[in-house]
Amino acid sequence: MSVHLAKGVRDYLPEQMRGRHAVMATVRAVFDRFGFEPLDTPAFERLDTLTGKYGDEGDKLMFRILQRGEGGEAGLADQALRYDLTVPLARFVAMHPELRLPFKRWQMAPVWRAERAQRGRFREFYQCDADIVGTTSPMADAECLAVASTAITELGFPDHVVRLNDRRILRAMARAVGAHDHELPLLIAVDKLDKIGRDGVSAEVRRLGLDDDAIARLWQILDVPRGHADTLDALAVHLDDEGRAGVDTLREVLRIAFALGVAPERLQVDPTLARGLDYYTGPVFETVLPGRNMGSVSGGGRYDGLVGMFCGRQIPCVGVSIGIERLLVLLEEEGRLEVASTAADVLVTVHDDDHRDAALAAVAALRAAGVRAEVFLDDKKLKAQLKYANARGYRWVAFVGPEEAAAGQVTLKDFAAGKQVTVPLHEAASVIGME
RNA sequence: GUGAGCAUAGCUCAGUUGGUUAGAGCGCCGGAUUGUGGUUCCGGAGGUCGUGGGUUCAAAACCCACUGUUCACCCCA
């Protein structure tokens, strides 16, 4: 067979959809409980809406849509599939000055990135975002941390850790080591500490032109213990005013998150956390699962400048995205995903052509009574119909043969119990409902 | 965009140093007398060994290219 899917995309089979729906329902319930309101936006946007917000990497990975007509032939694109849900939200906020602020919204929808697929990473995947628009209060940042931590806990990963940093701390760190000219490469190098180790980071920043003194200063900053207030106290010593502003904000965010019930061991201030997206301005965070070989399962931060890129008004925002695709991969690997049959409660068999109408009447009566009922759709022997019912996982099978049809009855066989009973048709639904 | 591994039946995989008609398990289809599945027994279908080229008397096996796929890097959910 030479039929293939496009790279990096998947079909979602009925059994998988059960698990997906269950996970999404859990996340949605948490979002609702925290008071976020639902919003949806189009799958694609004008190209100029999306470009220039994510950095060079993001622009490269955007799926562009060719113009119709001459422009398409010339290879020109004027629209693109959304790369995340955050920039479309900012565009929406800019277009709706009448919005009452602060505005809390959740959105669960597919996004597209032209990356090479690998474990837990796809070219089409669902993001589950919760964002708070219109306030600079650290309470909003803490709410985002709390909603993500709660959702991930309820999905079955109570042992997660939310790493926390602030863009202002990172910028101040770059200044402190004299690397303000190449802040971004420095942050990327620092972010790789867990992967390439101290020597790897040192070698990489040396290539950026840092001398031994600067590297020593860098480690002074990075070697602070990973924790909470103590970490922030230690950091503040090394940073300038802007850096200390970030420190103070995180101090508040931590305090509020604890007050909201987030357990201290769930949060960890980590000065090496960078996050690549250009639009972050303040606190940034991501959630990792220690002991599991998987990247971050949620990420977010404050982006106070993004709405201003679409309109004159500066509207501060903070948000978080939960990576259900990665969590689904883990749940499936660990056998913790619901795999119940998608079959209806009862399959009504068809004895023969003469009794087809009686079978249809039975399935209609069962459905009218609220029972999930199907009728066998092919002309096959009863044995084949039963085999089908068993393989598909129906709990009940109904027979409407000559005897039942004549008496207005139906025979219900319970596969689980291996027993069967013949009752008047109008009692069938209650028999199934009682078990 | 970069690097590495893998590609044999619907699925999971065997297949010896290259050597006759390429195998297993599961699944699928049929049968074991009248309107009863799942268990058991019997039988059956199904593979140009990813595609194309090359080496050889001989290729599923060795070499090259392409395609697909997986993992990792970059970045990210």
Nucleotide nearest to A398 (CA to C1'): B36
Q: Is 90 exceeded by the pLDDT of residue A18?
A: no
Banded model confidence at residue A435, pLDDT cuts 50, 70, 90: low
The whole-number pLDDT of residue A53 equals 92
Over range A361-384, report the average pLDDT: 92
Q: How is residue A82 written in tokens?
A: 């959304």
Q: A351: Cβ under 7 Å from strand B?
A: yes
Superfamily name and number for A14-333? Bira Bifunctional Protein; Domain 2 (3.30.930.10)
Find the Å distance, CA of residue A390 to C1' of nucleotide B64.
51
For the beta carbon of residue A51, count every other beta carbon within 10 angstroms: 17
Average pLDDT over chain A reads 91
The whole-number pLDDT of residue A416 equals 86
Banded model confidence at residue A340, pLDDT cuts 50, 70, 90: low
Burial call A216-242: b when 16+ CB within 10 Å, e when fewer? ebbeebbebeebbeebbebbbebbeee
Banded model confidence at residue A162, pLDDT cuts 50, 70, 90: very high
Over range A48-62, report the average pLDDT: 90
Lowest mean pLDDT across A53-62, A129-138, A142-151, A233-242: A53-62
Closest to A401 measured CA to CA, from A343, A362, A435: A362
Q: How is residue A216 written in tokens?
A: 């020593």
What is the residue whose two structure tokens read 């599939």? Answer: A81
Q: A182: Cβ under 7 Å from strand B?
A: no
Q: A118: Cβ under 7 Å from strand B?
A: yes
Find the Å distance, CA of residue A57 to C1' of nucleotide B2.
15
Nucleotide nearest to A58 (CA to C1'): B75
Q: Which residue has the higher pLDDT, A149 or A377?
A: A149
Q: Is 80 exceeded by the pLDDT of residue A114?
A: yes
The span from the CA of A166 to the CA of A271, in Å, is: 8
Over range A127-150, report the average pLDDT: 98
Over range A53-66, report the average pLDDT: 89
- CATH-assigned architecture of domain A346-434: 3-Layer(aba) Sandwich (3.40)
Q: A301: Cβ under 7 Å from strand B?
A: no
Q: Which residue has the higher pLDDT, A338 or A394?
A: A394
Find the Å distance, CA of residue A169 to C1' of nucleotide B71.
35
Percent of chain A with pLDDT over 70: 98
Which of A70-79, A194-203, A296-305, A340-349 is predicted most confidently? A296-305
Which residues lie across from A162 on neighbouring strands? A267, A287
What digits encode the pLDDT tens for the residues A284-331?
A: 999 999 988 888 999 999 999 999 999 989 999 999 999 999 999 998
Q: Which residue has the higher pLDDT, A195 or A47?
A: A47
Nucleotide nearest to A111 (CA to C1'): B77
Lowest mean pLDDT across A103-107, A109-113, A415-419: A415-419
Nucleotide nearest to A60 (CA to C1'): B1
- Closest CA-bearing residue to C1' of B68: A4
Nucleotide nearest to A326 (CA to C1'): B77
Q: Which residue has the higher pLDDT, A311 or A209?
A: A311
Contact predicate A205/A221, CB 8 Å: no
Nucleotide nearest to A61 (CA to C1'): B75
The span from the CA of A321 to the CA of A148, in Å, is: 8
The whole-number pLDDT of residue A1 equals 46
Going by DSSP bridges, is the β-strand pair A373-375/A409-414 parallel, antiparallel, or unpaired? Answer: unpaired
Q: Is 50 exceeded by the pLDDT of residue A372?
A: yes
The span from the CA of A162 to the CA of A149, in Å, is: 8
Q: How is residue A266 written in tokens?
A: 């769930």
- Closest CA-bearing residue to C1' of B38: A390
Find the Å distance, CA of residue A113 to C1' of nucleotide B65.
29
The whole-number pLDDT of residue A325 equals 93
Q: Is 80 exceeded by the pLDDT of residue A395?
A: yes
Contact predicate A127/A31, CB 8 Å: no
The whole-number pLDDT of residue A148 equals 98
Residues of A (395-424) placing their beta carbon closer than 7 angstroms to any atom of strand B are 399, 401-404, 411, 413, 415, 418, 420
The whole-number pLDDT of residue A347 equals 95
What is the residue whose two structure tokens read 């200390």? Answer: A244
Q: A298: Cβ under 7 Å from strand B?
A: yes
The whole-number pLDDT of residue A92 equals 98
The whole-number pLDDT of residue A277 equals 78
Q: A364: Cβ under 7 Å from strand B?
A: no
Find the Å distance, CA of residue A116 to C1' of nucleotide B63.
29
Q: How is residue A378 written in tokens?
A: 């092919």
Q: A207: Cβ under 7 Å from strand B?
A: no
The whole-number pLDDT of residue A178 equals 85
Report the C-alpha dihedral over residues A64, A70, A73, A74, rounded to 10 degrees: -80
User: What residue segments make up the domains of chain A, in order of their start?
Assistant: 14-333, 346-434
What digits encode the pLDDT tens for the residues A252-264?
A: 999 999 999 999 9
Find the Å distance, CA of residue A43 to C1' of nucleotide B60.
46
Q: A113: Cβ under 7 Å from strand B?
A: yes
Which nucleotides along chain B are within 7 A of a protein C-beta?
1-3, 27-31, 35-38, 68-77
Residues of A (50-89) placing their beta carbon closer than 7 angstroms to any atom of strand B are 55, 57-58, 61, 84
Q: Which residue has the higher pLDDT, A287 or A116?
A: A287
Nucleotide nearest to A386 (CA to C1'): B37
Find the Å distance, CA of residue A383 to C1' of nucleotide B29.
14
Indicate if A346-434 has the same CATH topology as A14-333. no
The whole-number pLDDT of residue A147 equals 98
Over range A237-245, report the average pLDDT: 94
Find the Å distance, CA of residue A200 to C1' of nucleotide B73.
14
Residues of A (158-177) placing their beta carbon closer than 7 angstroms to any atom of strand B are none
Contact predicate A138/A249, CB 8 Å: yes
